[in-house]
Amino acid sequence: MNIQSHLENYKVHMKAILLRVPLLFIFILFFSCKQVEPPKPVGPLPSERQLAWHDMKYYAFVHFNMNTFTDMEWGTGGEKPEQFNPTELDTRQWAKVAKEAGMTGIIITAKHHDGFCLWPTKTTEHSVKNSPWKDGNGDLIKDLSEACKEYGLKLGIYLSPWDRNASNYGEPEYVADFHAQLRELLTNYGDVFEVWFDGANGGSGYYGGANETRKIDNKTYYEWDKTHAIVRELQPNAVIFSDGGPDIRWVGTEEGWANETNWSIMKRDEIFPGWPRYVELRSGHEDGTHWLPAEVNTSIRPGWYYHSREDHQVKSLERLVRTYYESIGRNGNFLLNLPVDSRGLVHEKDVEQLMTLKTQIDKDFAKELTTSGAKISASNVRGNSSNYAAENAIDGNPETYWATDDGVVSGTLTIAFDTPTEINRLLLQEYIPLGQRVENFIVEAEVDDQWIEIDGQTTIGFRRILQFETIKATKVRVDFKMAKGPLVISNLELYRAPNFLVAPKISRDVKGMVTISVPDEEVEVYYTTDGSIPSENSTKYEASFLVNSPTTLKVIAYDSQSQMQTEPVTTYYDIPKEPWKVLTSTTGDLRKAHLLFDEDPNTYWATDSNVKTPQDVSIDLGDTYSIKGFTYWPNQDRYPTGIITNYEFFTSTNGKNWKLAAKGEFSNIVNSRLEQRVEFKSTKARFIKLRGVKVDPGASHEISGQVADFKTSYAEIGVITED
């Protein structure tokens, strides 16, 4: 064979090979995809309706009903429909606010424990149809369902099983009415995504005028099987909420958090409404028998219903952001309550705070860092199949996932960046249609060629978000240590949230030591003591410092990264209170009286109940000062009693002869429970006395106890001395 024919032969050979390569490739690909089965499901699995609920993430609770007009949290049932009289009710405003806040739905208290119905039910006269609102022609559930539709929100229904108005409560007839109410609500208002059954149940009430205590058996009285069947029949896609579901569970606290370990599964058959082991709801059961994920419900204010006395207690941004991370970030959904006010609107302060929360969360998750300039790899890929590749965890598609081989229940996912990248948030999601699996994992990062551990946690579930100190990493590795089966991770996201800039918190102890704190350690704090506005050139706060004479402290938080600062926070401190002692009080337990000068307005001391004369307390300051005024913090409790509305303030040099230094009224103190400051002509004194000439008996809430004529409470007393 000559060279020419060799060459020809070679060409023919090569052509044949080249022609076969794509075929071979397709062949390999075909088999690698085809043959690798997905991992077998592990444990109880979510239903379709539960899966749809997981996607709801963040939605509103609205407590708006008779209590809004009676200033109560639990109405007795003896209220009259005429009392329900909103002046500017606008459910479209609620929907607009919820939508703009980033929420996905609204759950409304169609009937609370007092029995008043927000729709014209056929079952009782105790409803909007006998109220002045829209001359009795209104239907709030209809209005809200239309508003939700308009704004692309889903509608949920809260229907209290307990009914303190119904005369037949406790009889089988009431249960028939309760079921009929449920039928009305689930038939006439379009799609409902969630039905909320409250665990609070049975007890004293009006009950059609009987005014007595009625006990029922929570497990059997409401015929839960029948109740659930009604929901399934009329709204097959709706999830049912209660302590034990059957679809969605309460998280076992109303403070707004789930435990870090949070299984979406529970031994559901052990749970019933009012379950005494409710703390277990905070973390679920690792060996659960049913899918029963947690919904974290809390209110944006202390109360579920609107009370003007809580206008200054709308939760801080810091608190709301924390709640977001401790609910949504801990495998739960976040149900945030908006107490619509007696006008019928979400209050301006609540709106403002909701939008601030939205802005902050948007900033935290603004830019996902695995999507550009990052590569992902895994320690094991199921059947080496591209169907289960590590890339599936960062492709933004919730239907694809990274999975490991059968028997491989631990392993790593590693992200490698092109250049060192700052990160402080990690979001992980398991592919829950195959069950919740991960029991234990750690997160490590390569920083300056060194591997460091940045966090160690237990469960993941549908969504887990970790927050950690900002690090500049070249690689990040999630090391799944233990799982109930092969790993199935659908999503991994990394973020660099901006430094968290919120107004600093200032406190002082009785010795006079001032402490200033901000939630983000990367944010700096600066202050002045001469009344001037602080800047980043003022004194930097490094550690607690002493303030033992009259001082106006102004403080800012400053973020050098963004070069932004907060508005200054101003606080006045006078002489330290450590030497102070209670000298006398008209009544009350003096052993706890130090609470009225412990520098904490959230604690209080009060005189006795049922006293018929004005009460006072006198204090020995331990030394003589030139006093030119005093301060008084009213009770900050959820159900405050004994707030002084009209006062007399006395001074004395010997604790025996008292001189009236000031008297007057703290106007609007009950609705606006802020620190009161009264100045008068300077006088020398070692002893002071504050008398409640008139006091407010307190919110008319059942839990607040009996009303006492002159029970007088003091959260904090202070003096203003001459420099």
Binding site for ligand FUL (CB under 6 A): 73, 198-200, 297, 304
131 vs 201, beta carbon nearer ligand FUL: 201
C-beta of 302: minimal distance to ligand FUL in Å?
Answer: 12
- Helix, strand, coil shares of the chain as percentages rounded to 5? 25, 35, 45
Minimum separation from the CB atom of position 252 to ligand FUL (A): 12
What minimum distance in Å lies between the beta carbon of 336 and ligand FUL? 11
56, 154 Cβ separation under 8 angstroms: yes
Cβ–Cβ contacts within 10 Å for residue 542, how many? 9
Q: Cβ 374 to ligand FUL, closest distance in Å?
A: 43
What is the rounded distance in angstroms from the CA atom of residue 8 to the CA atom of residue 15?
A: 11
- CA–CA gap between residue 533 and residue 431 (Å, rounded): 52
Q: Which is nearer to ligand FUL, 180 or 200 (CB)?
A: 200
201 conformational bin, left if phi > 0, alpha if psi -120 to 50, beta if neither: beta
Say whether 130 sits in a helix, a strand or coil: helix
CB 525 within 8 A of CB 458: no
Please enumerate in sequence order all residues whose Cβ is within 8 A of that of 415, keeping only pairs 6 or more positions apart, or say none.
370, 374, 375, 376, 394, 475, 476, 477, 492, 494
Q: Are 331 and 366 in contact (CB under 8 A)?
A: no
User: Which CB sits closer to ligand FUL, 62 or 494?
Assistant: 62
Measured from the CB atom, is 304 or 401 closer to ligand FUL?
Answer: 304
Beta carbons of 327 and 57 less than 8 angstroms apart = no
Nearer to ligand FUL, 39 or 202 (CB): 202
Q: What crossing angle do the helices spanning 91-100 and 348-364 adopt, rounded to 10°?
A: 20
Instruction: Report the residue number, 278 or 325, with the smaller CB distance to ligand FUL.
Output: 278
By beta-carbon proximity to ligand FUL, the closer residue of 250 and 526 is: 250
| d(C-alpha 514, C-alpha 542), whole Å | 11
Q: Are 344 and 62 in contact (CB under 8 A)?
A: no
CB of 304 to ligand FUL, least distance (A): 4
Structure tokens, 25: 């490739």
Neighbours of 182 (CB within 10 A): 23
Q: Tell me the three state secondary structure of residue 583.
A: strand
According to DSSP, residue 530 is labeled: B
In the complex, least distance from residue 303 CB atom to ligand FUL, rounded to whole angstroms: 9
Distance, in Å, from the CA atom of 333 to the CA atom of 682, rounded to the nearest integer, reads 57
Cβ at position 112, least distance to ligand FUL in Å: 6
DSSP β-bridge partners for residue 558: 524, 565
**Can you read off the two tokens belonging to residue 586?**
């008209």
By beta-carbon proximity to ligand FUL, the closer residue of 43 and 75 is 75
Distance CA 325, CA 361 (A): 10
Closest distance of CB 337 from ligand FUL, Å: 7
How far is Cα 561 from Cα 536, in angstroms, rounded to an integer? Answer: 13
> What span, in angstroms and rounded, lies between the C-alpha atoms of 189 and 119?
10
Residue nearest ligand FUL (C-beta atom): 200
Shorter beta-carbon distance to ligand FUL: residue 106 or 555 = 106
Q: Please, are residues 487 and 422 in contact by the beta-carbon 8 Å criterion? A: no
CB of 203 to ligand FUL, least distance (A): 11
Name which of 79 and 599 has its Cβ closer to ligand FUL. 79
For the bound state, the minimum distance from the C-beta of residue 153 to ligand FUL, rounded and expressed in Å, comes to 19
State the nearest-atom distance from the C-beta of 334 to ligand FUL, in Å. 14
Provide the minimum distance between the beta carbon of 199 and ligand FUL in the complex, in angstroms, as a whole number.
6
- Minimum Å distance from CB 61 to ligand FUL? 7
Q: At which residue do the structure tokens 């996912």 appear?
A: 413
For 594-632, give one letter per residue: b (16+ CB within 10 A) or e: eebbbbbbebbbbbebebeebbbbbbbbeeebebbbbbb
Query: Are 525 and 518 in contact, with CB atoms under 8 Å apart?
Result: yes
CB of 712 to ligand FUL, least distance (A): 29
**DSSP β-bridge partners for residue 492:** 428
Query: What are the structure tokens assigned to 365, written together?
Result: 């998750």
With 0-12 / 13-18 / 19 or more C-beta atoms within 10 angstroms meaning exposed / middle / buried, residue 9 is exposed
- Residue closer to ligand FUL, measured from CB, 198 or 696: 198
Beta-strand relationship, 332-338 and 58-62: parallel
Q: Which residues lie below 8 Å from residue 576, measured CB to CB, with a gap of 6+?
A: 510, 511, 512, 548
Q: How far is the CB of 162 from ligand FUL (least distance, A)?
A: 8
DSSP classification of residue 590: G
CB of 170 to ligand FUL, least distance (A): 19
Whichever of 198 and 310 has its CB closer to ligand FUL, that residue is 198
Residues 6+ apart with CB under 8 A from 437: 42, 409, 430, 483, 484, 485, 486, 487, 488
Closer to ligand FUL by CB, 475 or 701: give it: 701
Q: If residue 661 lies in a helix (H) or strand (E), which one and from where to where? A: strand 659-665
What is the DSSP secondary structure assignment for residue 555, as one 8-state letter? E
For residue 280, give the amino acid letter. E
Of the two residues 56 and 427, which places its CB atom closer to ligand FUL in the complex? Answer: 56
Task: Please state the closest distance from residue 63 (CB atom) to ligand FUL, in A.
Answer: 6
CB closer to ligand FUL, 198 vs 520: 198
Measured at the alpha carbon of residue 70, what is the angle toward residues 64 and 71, in degrees to the nearest 5?
80
Residues 696, 664 contacting (CB under 8 angstroms): no
Q: With respect to ligand FUL, which residue has the nearer C-beta, 323 or 424?
A: 323
Q: Considering beta carbons, is residue 200 or 590 the nearer one to ligand FUL?
A: 200
Compute the least distance from the CB of residue 489 to ligand FUL, in Å. Answer: 34
Q: Which is nearer to ligand FUL, 199 or 433 (CB)?
A: 199
